[in-house]
Chain A
């Protein structure tokens, strides 16, 4: 029997516990142990960005982290981006408005990445948007509408702040 470890963490504001072997990836813990399947896995080696989640607010590749190392940390996944009442976040709304997704597989990673990007830089330039999303692959959209979505999300956030 493989040795397992107790892991305690906060996911989308909820305290969660799980037991997992040392080698279990954070992405697998989230998806298969906690049932949060919104986080997707596209390449298993940190290139595509589909599995991006926010760890203590910062975007990380959950396929490159062992679940045990998330012990004691706070994680936000795509399931936690909407408001408590289920209202989609400005970033989620912008992606729908601007047709920033097609198959939707890469989308949770983009949403997490962009959420952090706009928190740190509320009015990014075109260049800054490209730079900000340049670690996420999308095979469907050609990115044009994703870039538009980021700018639109910035507008929506600014409106909300007013």
Chain B
């Protein structure tokens, strides 16, 4: 691999210098002279559109155009695509780009205005009068399930999909089990909420008949395919670029958004540049949310706490439309199993329509709910048996010698749910050590002596990462010796430019400073899937490594000719090909690049060396000798199935006896994502994920009223954590390589967020002796829970109930 040690090093990020000096280029930083689009959006959760009157808007200075559904031609007027069809999604429905007849959630776009600037576009939008006939709104999971009213007339029961996953005979297993528990869990809606919202900017080139579109997206190649299809353009005439993206966390994987079709369409029609930048309120009501589920759990187990049968019925709220299919239900129902061997298992997810904004993956993508379910179940079992919570988990863990472990289900990539590698008992031992699990009772006693109430909690998860179908990489070394790496996969701030450069530098044996990385630009790489499901490092990382290996081999072949050596005797160090152990017999890669491209014309001094009268060699051979010109290579990585990362988190919390405020005193993470490319970046991903998890556990919820109005659609009222809410996060790593890919890596992007709600619930329950069955847990919620538990012993844990009795006597 050459002498350059760069893979695995915590090197500083390549993207930082521009981002720290204001030189980043996010969507709204582009297109300074573009016309601005603004949207008239439905103020009703469910209504019939009777009339749209634009008269008053027409005399707004600077107005260019107003469009409603009636104005849309051909395929632009059709419903947006259902991106991921699935047999269980029997009643999939998607929205029109602009509402046709009926609106089904507050925020649904009804008309588009284009004007000289955004102020004027908003002026015009505010003067468009839409006459609505309000219809009954379906809000909340249980109301959707009761189906007194329908979100879509032709979807009976509001049921979009019924997904079932099963292994073994769960009814028989539970019936035969020595112990059985049944309970209900609730998880509220939250959202990705990147600080940069969505945005689209389109430039039509009438002379060339081509379109260039910038979108703050997680999937530029697929946005291109969608735009080309909708506008009837050949894919080669559409380029889509994801510029610097100010966070995505899942929400920007959805595509095409209505705006991603309408803005390019209008740009072509008007032959003018058009840009739309989402504002914060729009992001709340017109992008996407996630998480909301109600779970009914029935579990049978033995005296040790071994789960013999687990039956979970989940009601999932997917909002008004299903453009992203049933990915979240699939992920919840498969990843629920975590690191455990569960006897028989059945999960039934009923995915329901409501008159609320759509629900699509947000970091974790259904896993936080699944893990909440399983980990709450483990704690219930431990409490029922009076056993240690960690010990109950321990007896259920898959052992290291049982890999590959087949869970017997089908995962979100349509492939079997087979865990490739891991060491779960080691993770558990390490997290217990890190948090001080075994000595916690002394700590609790010390706190109690000071009148303080503290508790400890634990949560474990397995995360399927690096889902297919594929990603690609292109690596090219130019005649200055610079290495250009491209992958079609986008970045949303994770540091891809850095880690991909590390991978290429390590594979090629060049200084990392010489590597430049381009992501998410269809002009550089046209085939890709996107950044989601903790897949970027695994998928594009391996593709780039494979492409770099091709380039390395080619460089060695060409250098071997020049040095009259055997390629097997050569290696590359600091960008120079040389004979192993003999640095004097050497040729720099920049010269190899020159030699790789036989030339007729010299355009500079370097190029002279490759022209026909300068190159000697065998006159009977064609100059290319069977090679393609250029020192470049392209390759793809396509895994048979996902690779499974894992981790365990633990926390110590303190609850205020009076205000019911929860304070996190310590938070510890042990994480295993295989080989680390850049430990600093992995840690950063974990910190950020945990912070989002804490938001979901204690603060964030989407508050809809019964008429479907989102009451907290601003940063004033939707409480995301500031620095003051996030504790220091202690981390440790295990590195169990994946046997599935050349680099032995697993994904890390979502890990931090996954078990946090489960961990906090476990710790608060331990501190309070009161069962925690819903998240998030605000001080209000906890206060009310305390009051109810005073009257109702079934709300108290057995230890909590015992303590309460002791206090009473």
CB within 8 Å of B: which residues of A? Answer: 1-2, 21, 23-24, 31-32, 35-45, 47-48, 50, 77-79, 81-82, 88, 92, 95-97, 99, 101-108, 111, 129-131, 133-147
B residues apposed to A, CB below 8 Å: 12-13, 15-17, 19-26, 28-29, 32, 61, 117, 119, 193-196, 244-247, 249, 279-280, 492-495, 680-681, 683-684, 686-692, 714-716, 720, 722-724, 726, 728-729, 752
Whether the Cβ atoms of B247 and A144 lie closer than 8 Å is no
Contact (Cβ within 8 A) B20 A139? no
A79-B21, A102-B495, A137-B195 known; 14 new pairs, CB 8 Å cut-off, are A38-B23, A40-B195, A43-B714, A48-B195, A92-B21, A96-B20, A103-B244, A104-B493, A105-B493, A134-B722, A139-B247, A140-B688, A142-B686, A143-B722
Asked if A45 and B492 make an inter-chain contact with CB atoms under 8 angstroms apart, the answer reads no
CB <8 Å contact, A142 and B714: no
- A43-B492 contact given A101-B19, A130-B723, A139-B249, CB 8 Å threshold: no
Interface centre among A36, A40, A97 (most CB of B within 10 A): A40
Question: Could you list some 16 contacts between A and B, CB below 8 A?
Answer: A36-B22, A38-B24, A40-B196, A42-B715, A47-B716, A95-B20, A103-B246, A104-B19, A105-B26, A105-B194, A134-B723, A139-B249, A140-B684, A140-B688, A142-B687, A143-B722
Q: Specify the chain B residue showing the minimal Cβ separation from A146.
A: B723
- Bound Cα distance A84, B495 (Å): 28
Q: How far is the CB of B483 from the nearest CB of chain A, in Å?
A: 22
| Residues of chain B with a CB closer than 8 A to A37's CB | 22, 25-26, 28-29
- In the complex, which of the residues B15, B244, B724 contacts A134, with contact meaning CB atoms closer than 8 Å? B724
> Does A142 contact B61, Cβ atoms closer than 8 Å?
no
Distance in angstroms from A58 CB to nearest chain B CB is 19
**Least CB distance, B720 to chain A, in whole angstroms:** 6
Q: What is the chain B residue whose CB lies nearest that of A23? A: B119
Contact indicator B692/A139 (Cβ below 8 Å): yes
> Smallest distance from the beta carbon of A26 to chain B beta carbons, Å?
14
* Given A79-B21, A102-B495, A105-B247; A142-B716 close (CB under 8 Å): no
* Cα A4 to Cα B598 with chains together (Å): 62
Return B537 CB to nearest CB of chain A, in Å.
14
The CB with the most chain A CB atoms within 10 A, among B194, B195, B495, B688, is that of B195
Min distance, Cβ A32 to any Cβ of chain B, angstroms: 6
Q: Which chain B residue lies CB-closest to A141? A: B688
Q: How far is the CA of A99 from the CA of B19 in the complex (A)?
A: 12
How far is the CB of B285 from the nearest CB of chain A, in Å?
14
The answer to whether B195 touches A50, judged by C-beta atoms less than 8 angstroms apart, is yes
Give the residue name and chain of the B residue nearest to A131 (CB). Answer: B724
Please tell me if the beta carbons of A96 and B688 are within 8 angstroms of each other in the complex: no
Per DSSP, are chain A's interface residues mostly helix, strand or loop, or mixed?
Answer: loop
Known A2-B61, A103-B245; judge A143-B494 contact (CB<8 A): no
State the total of A-B contacts with C-beta under 8 angstroms.
168
CA distance A44 to B714 in the complex (A): 9
- A48→B22 contact, CB < 8 A: no
Which residues of chain A have C-beta atoms less than 8 A from B689's C-beta? Answer: 142
**Interchain CB contact under 8 A, A141 and B720:** no
| CA distance in complex: A38, B212 (Å) | 23
B119 touches A24 (CB 8 A): yes
| Beta-carbon contact of B280 and A42 below 8 Å | yes
Query: Are B22 and A88 within 8 A (Cβ)?
Result: no
Bound together, the chains give a CA A135 to CA B720 distance in angstroms of 12
Contact indicator A105/B22 (Cβ below 8 Å): no
Contact status of A106 and B688, CB under 8 A, knowing A88-B17, A101-B19: no
Asked if residues A92 and B715 are in contact (CB atoms below 8 Å), the reply is no
Q: Give the residue name and chain of the A residue nearest to B21 (CB).
A: A82
> Smallest distance from the beta carbon of A52 to chain B beta carbons, Å?
13
Query: Judging by beta carbons under 8 Å apart, are B280 and A103 in contact?
Result: no
Q: Which residue of A lies closest to B117 (CB)?
A: A32
Pair B193/A130 contact, Cβ less than 8 Å: no
Shortest CB-to-CB span from B248 to chain A, Å, is: 8
Name the CB-closest residue of B to A143.
B723
> For residue B494, which residues in chain A have a CB less than 8 angstroms away from its CB?
102
Whether B720 lies near A137 (C-beta < 8 A) is yes
A142 and B32 form a contact (CB under 8 A): no
Q: Bound state CA distance, A7 and B354, in angstroms?
A: 49
Contact A102:B680 (CB < 8 A) given known A140-B247, A146-B723? no
B691 contacts across to A, CB distance below 8 A: 141-143
Given contacts A36-B22, A105-B246, A144-B687, contact A136 B12 (CB under 8 A): no
A144 lies within 8 A of B19 (CB) = no
Complex alpha-carbon distance, A62 and B729, angstroms: 33
Contact A105 B688 (CB under 8 A): no
* A residues in contact with B249, CB < 8 Å: 139
Chain B residues with CB below 8 A from A135, complex form: 722
Q: Contact between B195 and A99 (Cβ–Cβ < 8 Å)?
A: no
Which residues in B have their C-beta under 8 angstroms from that of A1? Answer: 61
A142-B715 in contact (CB<8A): no
Contact B714 A45 (CB under 8 A): yes
Contacts of A79 in B (CB 8 A): 21-23
Which 3 A-B pairs rank lowest in CB-CB distance, beginning with the nearest?
Answer: A38-B22, A103-B493, A105-B246
B196-A105 in contact (CB<8A): yes
B512 CB → nearest A CB, Å = 15
**B13 touches which of A96, A134, A143, A144 (Cβ 8 Å):** A96
Among A96, A103, A147, the residue within 8 A (CB) of B12 is A96
- B-chain residues with CB within 8 Å of residue A40 when the two chains form the complex: 26, 195-196, 246
Inter-chain contacts of B23 with A (CB < 8 A): 38, 79
User: Distance in Å from the Cβ of A140 to the closest Cβ of chain B?
Assistant: 5
B715 touches A45 (CB 8 A): yes
The CA-CA distance from A133 to B723 in the complex, in Å, is 7
**CB-defined contacts of B683 to chain A, threshold 8 Å:** 99
Q: How far is the CA of A95 from the CA of B18 in the complex (A)?
A: 12
A48-B715, A144-B687 known; A97 vs B492 contact (CB < 8 Å): no
* Residues B715 and A43 in contact, CB atoms below 8 Å apart: yes
Nearest CB of A to B283, in Å: 9
Closest beta carbon of chain A to B288's beta carbon, Å:
15
A134–B724 alpha-carbon span in the complex (Å): 6
- Known contacts A1-B61, A88-B21: does B16 contact A103 (CB below 8 Å)? no
Check A140–B21 contact: CB distance below 8 A: no
Q: Name the A residues within 8 Å of B245 (CB-CB).
A: 103
Asked whether, in the complex, the Cβ of A145 is within 8 Å of the Cβ of B687, the reply is yes
Expressed in whole angstroms, the minimum distance between the Cβ of B124 and any Cβ of chain A is 13
With a cutoff of 8 Å between Cβ atoms, the chain B residues found around residue A131 in the complex are 724
Q: Which chain A residues lie closer than 8 Å to B12 at the CB level?
A: 96-97, 99
Closest residue of chain A to B29, judged by CB?
A: A37
Q: Give the distance in Å from the alpha carbon of A105 to the alpha carbon of B19 in the complex.
A: 8
- Asked whether, in the complex, the Cβ of A139 is within 8 Å of the Cβ of B193, the reply is yes
Nearest-neighbor residue (CB-CB) of B22 within chain A: A38
* A106 vs B12: C-alpha distance when bound (angstroms): 19
Given known pairs A45-B716, A96-B17, A103-B247, the reply for A143 and B28 (CB within 8 Å) is: no
Determine the distance from Cα of A47 to Cα of B597 in the docked complex, in whole angstroms. 56
> What CA separation (Å) do A48 and B17 show in the bound complex?
23
Indicate if the CB atoms of B722 and A139 lie closer than 8 Å.
Answer: no
For B22, list chain A residues within 8 Å (CB): 36-39, 77-79, 108
Smallest beta-carbon distance B507→chain A, Å:
24
| Cross-interface CB contact of A99 among B26, B279, B680, cutoff 8 Å | B680
Q: How far is the CA of A92 from the CA of B29 in the complex (A)?
A: 21
In the assembly, what is the distance between CA of A103 and CA of B19, in Å? 8
Q: B21 touching A38 by the CB < 8 A rule?
A: yes
For B19, list chain A residues within 8 Å (CB).
101, 104, 107
Distance in Å from the Cβ of B345 to the closest Cβ of chain A? 34
Chain A residues positioned under 8 Å from B714 (CB to CB): 43, 45, 47
Give Cα A136 to B723, complex, Å. Answer: 8
* Of the residues A50, A97, A107, A142, contact of B688 by C-beta under 8 Å: A142
